[in-house]
Amino acid sequence: MHAAIVDPSRVVLKMIAQLLAERGDTASEFVDSESALRCIKGDPTVDILITSLEVLPMTGLELCWEARLAIPAQRPLFIIVMSSLSDELKLAEALDCGADDLIAKPVNRLELHARLRLAGRLKSAQLHLVALAETDPLTGLFNRRAFFDRLNKAIELGGKPVSAIMFDIDHFKRINDLEGHDVGDLVIRRVAGEAAKIAGIAGRLGGEEFAVILEGCDERGTFRLAETLRQSCANASFSGHAGPFQMTCSFGVSIWVEGDTADTLLKKADVGLYRAKTDGRNRVRSAARAYEDMPPMPSAMVRQQERH
């Protein structure tokens, strides 16, 4: 774990950093609270804040409050407040300001290690809950809410081209009706597995509908990736009641342009998907009609999606 330690005494900072090192944890040391807050905001690896109440220019109470406001709810941050004071009202106020635990100064080694073990357990539990809240249980892809959250962040950050691939399984109701929902689930999981191989943000929007967000990929590259994904889905084989069968998917692509929102980007991809359906299914289309029916991208351009 990585802790930001804040105390006006460098002796105290070194002592606590040494206690952390005994557990294999790392520490960033600060004598002022503003520098610590900047570190917490800018370094997502910081998952523990250990701060004295008697710090400046922000007090320890203010630092607890600002740290809680500065990070997203999905990011674990365990806050331990240190104080040599015995003012119960002040310590209770620290908990109200976002602290998770309290420890007296001078810090006891065994007590600090116990609190850090608690922090580790709570971090694991929080990350597990976040994963459950963001993951589609059938496919392991991002669910609709988490997908849109990441799409909005990609657009807000800017700096790289953002494009979207939206697709669904052709005649999926027929597969469910003829082969049963168990086989239908296998088909959905297989398509999701192919989508997860693309280096992008893959999500299941609902039912048999999926989308992938690409960053740093231009329009031509997006079409080629969509075409490669189309072919890999079409090549998949399944065991049905009457023997092996295959399925296809239809794809729509779109490119973000200045002024587009997340909804706009996906609506344009949906227009392309509708065109793919009306043109006969099992193809890639866009509202702009550019780069259609391109050859697939070489396999070297497709890799297993990195999930953090």
DSSP H helical ranges for 171-297: 172-179, 181-196, 219-234, 262-278
* Total of domains in the chain: 2
Which CATH number goes with the domain that contains 36? 3.40.50.2300
My answer on whether 288 and 151 are in the same domain is yes
My answer on whether 274 and 165 are in the same domain is yes
My answer on whether 17 and 107 are in the same domain is yes
pLDDT value of residue 92: 85
Is the pLDDT score of 293 beyond 70? no
Residue 307 included in any domain: no
Residue 306 included in any domain: no
Q: What's the rounded Cα separation, in Å, for the pair 160 and 23? A: 40
Question: Does the annotation mark 208 as catalytic?
Answer: yes
Residue 217 included in any domain: yes
Residue 97 included in any domain: yes
Amino acid in the structure at residue 125: A
Give mean pLDDT, residues 95-105.
Answer: 92
Q: What's the rounded Cα separation, in Å, for the pair 94 and 99? A: 6
My answer on whether 152 and 295 are in the same domain is yes
pLDDT value of residue 307: 32
Is the pLDDT score of 299 beyond 70? no
Residue 280 included in any domain: yes
pTM: 0.74
Is the pLDDT score of 300 beyond 90? no
66, 179, 208, 227: the catalytic one is 208
User: What does the block give as tokens for 287?
Assistant: 């509202």
Q: What's the rounded Cα separation, in Å, for the pair 297 and 274? A: 23
More confident of the two residues 83 and 195:
195
Chosen domain end from 81, 116, 134: 134
pLDDT tens-place string over residues 107-138: 999 999 999 999 999 999 999 998 889 999 99
My answer on whether 153 and 130 are in the same domain is no
pLDDT tens-place string over residues 267-287: 999 999 999 999 999 999 997
pLDDT value of residue 66: 96
Q: Are 195 and 229 in contact (CB under 8 A)?
A: yes
My answer on whether 111 and 191 are in the same domain is no
Residue 308 included in any domain: no
pLDDT tens-place string over residues 159-168: 788 999 999 9
User: What does the block give as tokens for 96?
Assistant: 């109200």
Range of the domain at 295: 144-301
My answer on whether 235 and 265 are in the same domain is yes
Instruction: Report in angstroms the alpha-carbon separations of 294 from 149, 220, 251, 287.
Output: 31, 9, 13, 16
57 prior amide bond cis, ω within 30: yes
Average pLDDT, the chain: 90
My answer on whether 113 and 165 are in the same domain is no
Chosen domain end from 134, 161, 181: 134
Which CATH number goes with the domain that contains 287? 3.30.70.270
pLDDT value of residue 158: 73
Q: Beta strand pairing status for 78-83 and 101-104?
A: parallel
pLDDT tens-place string over residues 225-254: 999 999 999 999 999 988 999 999 999 999
